[in-house]
Chain A
Amino acid sequence: MREFVNYLADPIRSFPIFLVFFYLMIRYVKVVATKKFAVIGTLISLPPIAWALADKNFFKIVIRPDNLPINFLIITVVFFTWFSLYKGVRNDGRLAAGEVPIEALPENREKVWTWPNLVYTELFCMIAMTIFLVVWAIYFKAPLEEPANPTWAPNPAKAPWYFLGLQEMLVYFDPWYAGVILPGLIVAGLIAIPYIDTNPKGNGYFCYEDRKMAINLFLFGWLALWVYLIIVGTFLRGPNWTFYGPFEYWDYKKVVAEYNVNLSEFFWIIGLNQPLPSNMILREIVGIVISLGYFFILPLASLKTKYGAKLFKDMGTIRYFILIFLAVAMASLPIKMALRWLFSLKYIVALPELELNF
């Protein structure tokens, strides 16, 4: 059984499984966003979690000081995702029945005094947080590793958990893309959200149906490309940053054969059975064409689809192309991950002479 879970946990299998669950969640959101589902789901998931924690290898990872917060993160993210969907679906039902959302009910629109209504809530939250932090600080020492040693890197050398998604991205891309461009695009994309999303519905209350596309896209980026990668980086990456199942002992001598091939080698050596051309542009021409096509032709081609044409008409030129560009950049990460897992593809464009790898 443990072997089987270890087998399933490899990102090559667990990422598709995660995507299937994600799809089921948004497809059957009406079922997921009920209290009954939450209670049953919690009850069903408790025994497997207890069983998993009984394994000493897994337990060791879970209680590593640096990993404690991520356990909180997982619990809070699961809860609040469900909670916001629950509130959203409840409002959807009310809107469908011609009523106003709960937040817009007259008794909720009514104005109340800040003192005592708000200040006491805040005081309560502050005291609860203080107690929580102090107790946590007394029970768990803050992480501190060995003194700095520039000649020896710890193995595995992990960033704190909130950067592990980034660290995992760096495995699939060259630093200029995964370390600079992608984070930059994440920030720019987040800032751009209010200017791209012109849907006036759902302003100031929870809902799902009216903002389906926006919420699905956001949840995909947030859960599948950020939280999932953090979980992989925390629980499934061991010495030498190779994959270890959650119940697998971190054997430093584990041998993993992992030979990565560039697209140019696939094309020239395996495809055409020739040596690599000495001209670097000619060598990488296939990858360059594919990359340019992906980032520039694909957005233009998307206009030809029915859905794209409708969006284009609704949003206008600038908004549409910003949205498509951000979507294409976001999709480049799972695509590259899949290519790496399936074909050991390293770089689509490999120009180390110009420090330009993609």
Chain B
Amino acid sequence: MADKQSLNRREFFSFLTVGWVAFSAACAGLASMALRYSYPNVNFEPEMDFLAGRPTDYEAGVDERWKNGFGVWMIKRDGILVALSNICTHLGCVPNWLPAELKFKCPCHGSGFYMNGVNFEGPAPRPLERFRITMTPDGQILVDKTRIFRQEKGEWNHPDSFIRV
């Protein structure tokens, strides 16, 4: 009677294999769709660029006027003006500027940065980032936070990473 079965042993197992592969693939597909679901296509994001006045508005040293609104320190030093990010490169806290010691010090894990943004103490692995800073035709400073310049990649020589004053 066994001979009369419509599937022989080998055919039956290959059928089973196809079935299991299809089932696994379907599960994997559903799982990846569930994963994709957790990535929204559109979301609100804060403003990424702003006009920061004129170069003559800034005195030499660290200027904190844009820190609260846009997370940027303007630093005028050695004839250049740069827009420095205030996000610690270690774990994203906001360091404080300590004028007495001429350094930025992060309260979360104690990273310290020189006035030019270069890290020298604590766990931060790399210097603070610079944002693109350019002049508009009418002589205003435009800071664009979508483009960052990283010192360890040698990007601080890029002409958009500072303006001469």
A adjacent to B, CB under 8 Å: yes
**Is A155 in contact with chain B by the CB < 8 A criterion?**
yes
- Are A153 and B121 neighbours in the complex by a CB distance under 8 Å? no
Residues of chain B with a CB closer than 8 A to A179's CB: 91
Partner of A151, one of B67, B90, B105, B126: B67
| A153-B94, A171-B122, A174-B123 known; A240+B152 contact, CB < 8 A | no
Residues of chain A with a CB closer than 8 A to B71's CB: 151
Nearest residue, chain A, Cβ from B121? A258
Q: Which of A2-10, A32-40, A188-196, A347-355 contacts B (4 or more CB under 8 A)?
A: A347-355
**Is A67 in contact with chain B by the CB < 8 A criterion?**
no
| A151-B67, A151-B71, A352-B152 known; A241+B110 contact, CB < 8 A | yes
Question: Size range of the interface on B?
Answer: 20 to 34
- Are B125 and A174 neighbours in the complex by a CB distance under 8 Å? yes
Proximity bits, B135-165, A CB within 8 Å = 1, else 0: 0000000000000000011000000000000
Chain B interface secondary structure, helix, strand, loop or mixed? loop
List CB contacts (< 8 Å) of A171-201 with chain B.
171-175, 179
- Are A352 and B125 neighbours in the complex by a CB distance under 8 Å? yes
Nearest residue, chain B, Cβ from A240? B105
Question: Size range of the interface on A?
Answer: 20 to 34
**Is A154 in contact with chain B by the CB < 8 A criterion?**
yes
A194 to B1, alpha carbons, bound, how many Å?
Answer: 51
A150 to B93, alpha carbons, bound, how many Å?
Answer: 9
Proximity bits, A241-256, B CB within 8 Å = 1, else 0: 1100000000001010
- Are B123 and A170 neighbours in the complex by a CB distance under 8 Å? yes
- Are B112 and A155 neighbours in the complex by a CB distance under 8 Å? no
- Are B110 and A240 neighbours in the complex by a CB distance under 8 Å? yes
List CB contacts (< 8 Å) of A233-276 with chain B.
239-242, 253, 255, 258-260
List CB contacts (< 8 Å) of B105-146 with chain A.
105-110, 112, 120-123, 125-126
Q: In the complex, what's the smallest C-beta–C-beta distance from A238 to chain B, in angstroms?
A: 10
**Is B11 in contact with chain A by the CB < 8 A criterion?**
no
| A259-B121, A350-B125, A353-B152 known; A152+B105 contact, CB < 8 A | no
A347 to B125, alpha carbons, bound, how many Å?
Answer: 8
Residues of chain B with a CB closer than 8 A to A353's CB: 152-153
List CB contacts (< 8 Å) of A22-57 with chain B.
none
| A151-B94, A352-B125, A353-B152 known; A156+B107 contact, CB < 8 A | yes
A171 to B121, alpha carbons, bound, how many Å?
Answer: 10
- Are B91 and A260 neighbours in the complex by a CB distance under 8 Å? no
List CB contacts (< 8 Å) of A151-175 with chain B.
151-157, 167, 170-175
A157 to B105, alpha carbons, bound, how many Å?
Answer: 12
List CB contacts (< 8 Å) of B26-68 with chain A.
67-68
**Is B21 in contact with chain A by the CB < 8 A criterion?**
no
A173 to B95, alpha carbons, bound, how many Å?
Answer: 19
Proximity bits, B76-117, A CB within 8 Å = 1, else 0: 000000000000001101111000110001111110100000
Q: In the complex, what's the smallest C-beta–C-beta distance from A317 to chain B, in angstroms?
A: 31
Partner of A157, one of B67, B107, B122: B107
A242 to B152, alpha carbons, bound, how many Å?
Answer: 26
- Are B122 and A155 neighbours in the complex by a CB distance under 8 Å? no
- Are A352 and B100 neighbours in the complex by a CB distance under 8 Å? no
Q: In the complex, what's the smallest C-beta–C-beta distance from A339 to chain B, in angstroms?
A: 13
Nearest residue, chain B, Cβ from A159? B108
- Are A157 and B68 neighbours in the complex by a CB distance under 8 Å? no
Q: In the complex, what's the smallest C-beta–C-beta distance from B117 to chain A, in angstroms?
A: 13
Q: In the complex, what's the smallest C-beta–C-beta distance from B155 to chain A, in angstroms?
A: 11
**Is A291 in contact with chain B by the CB < 8 A criterion?**
no
- Are B94 and A172 neighbours in the complex by a CB distance under 8 Å? no
A168 to B131, alpha carbons, bound, how many Å?
Answer: 31
- Are B125 and A153 neighbours in the complex by a CB distance under 8 Å? no
Residues of chain A with a CB closer than 8 A to B126's CB: 352
**Is A357 in contact with chain B by the CB < 8 A criterion?**
yes
- Are A155 and B96 neighbours in the complex by a CB distance under 8 Å? yes
A34 to B140, alpha carbons, bound, how many Å?
Answer: 77
6 closest cross-chain pairs (CB), A and B: A241-B110, A352-B126, A155-B107, A151-B68, A352-B152, A258-B121
17 A-B contacts, Cβ less than 8 Å apart?
Answer: A150-B94, A153-B95, A153-B106, A155-B96, A156-B107, A157-B93, A157-B108, A167-B108, A171-B122, A173-B123, A239-B107, A240-B105, A241-B106, A258-B121, A260-B122, A346-B123, A352-B125
20 extra A-B contacts, CB within 8 A, seeds A152-B94, A258-B122, A346-B123: A151-B67, A151-B68, A151-B71, A151-B94, A153-B93, A153-B96, A153-B108, A156-B107, A157-B107, A170-B109, A170-B123, A171-B109, A175-B91, A241-B109, A258-B112, A259-B120, A260-B122, A350-B125, A352-B152, A355-B125
